[in-house]
Amino acid sequence: LFAGESTFVKGVVAMSGLPDADRMEVCFAGRSNVGKSSLINALTGTKGLARASNTPGRTQEINYFTQGPELYLVDLPGYGYANAPLPVVEKWQRLLKQYLSGRQTLRRAFVLIDSRHGIKKVDAEIMKLLDSSAVTFQVVMTKADKVKEKDRAAVLSQVREALSKHPAAYPEIVLTSSEKGDGIPTLRAIIAGLE
C-alpha cells in the first residue's frame, strides 16, 4: 500500500468538494505543531508533501493526499486554532462533523499527541467528536525522540486513562518519531491492515 507515490490532491472546504469515495482513507488530527505534517511526510516518504496544508488559508480545509492508487491520507487541520474568528471556527466544525459522520470510506482516525505534553483539552474535544461520529480512532504519540524513557511512562498512563473514557478509542497506542523513523513502519502496517 505504501509502495506507490504520494501527491497532494486538494484542499476541501465543503462536503461537495470531497473526492470520489473510490478507495479507503484514514485521517489525521492533532493540535498545530504536534508534528502532523512531519508524520505524513514520513509515512509517505515524501519530503515537503504535507507542508501545503500548513500554509495560511489551508488551515480550515480537509487536505487530501494520495498514497499509491488505493489509499487517501487525509489531513484534518484546524483544531487548536482558538484565535480564528468564531464564524470561521463554527463553519470548520460543521464541515468536520459532516465529514466524520458521512464519509463511508473513512476507516480510522489517528489522533496525534505530543509525547512530551499528553492529551490537552482540544484533544479531548476531538475524541468526543469521534465518539459521537462512531469513527474508531487511534492515538499516535509524536516526537518520541524528545522524551526520555523514564518520562514516557507518565504521559502514556495519562493517555491510557483518557482513552478508557472514549468508546471509539482503539486501545493500542503507537509511539513514533518522524525524525528518527521510529514507529513509522508499524503505523504503515496498521493502515495497510485496515484494507
Question: Which of 37, 66 has the CB closer to ligand GDP?
Answer: 37
CB 84 within 8 A of CB 96: no
Contact between 177 and ligand GDP by CB under 6 A: the answer reads yes
Q: Cβ contacts of residue 135 below 8 Å, gap of 6+?
A: 100, 101, 106, 108, 109, 168
Contact between 178 and ligand GDP by CB under 6 A: the answer reads yes
**Choices 66-74, 98-106, 128-136, 139-147 (CB under 6 A): range interacting with ligand GDP:** 139-147
Q: Cβ contacts of residue 161 below 8 Å, gap of 6+?
A: none
What CA–CA distance (Å, rounded) separates 60 from 79?
Answer: 9
Contact between 33 and ligand GDP by CB under 6 A: the answer reads yes
Smallest distance from ligand GDP to CB 54, Å: 5
Contact between 47 and ligand GDP by CB under 6 A: the answer reads no
Closest Cα to residue 177, out of 152, 157, 150? 152
User: Would you give the DSSP letter of residue 92?
Assistant: H
What CA–CA distance (Å, rounded) separates 152 from 15?
Answer: 39
Question: Which of 66, 142 has the CB closer to ligand GDP?
Answer: 142
Question: Which of 131, 145 has the CB closer to ligand GDP?
Answer: 145
Contact between 34 and ligand GDP by CB under 6 A: the answer reads yes
Helix (H) or strand (E) holding 39: helix 36-44
Question: Which of 103, 143 has the CB closer to ligand GDP?
Answer: 143
Of 94, 146, 160, 165, the residue at the interface with ligand GDP (CB under 6 A) is 146
What CA–CA distance (Å, rounded) separates 13 from 92?
Answer: 8
Q: How many residues does the chain have?
A: 195
Of 19, 118, 145, 188, the residue at the interface with ligand GDP (CB under 6 A) is 145
Smallest distance from ligand GDP to CB 40, Å: 8
User: Contact positions toward ligand GDP, by CB under 6 A?
Assistant: 30, 32-38, 54, 142-143, 145-146, 177-179
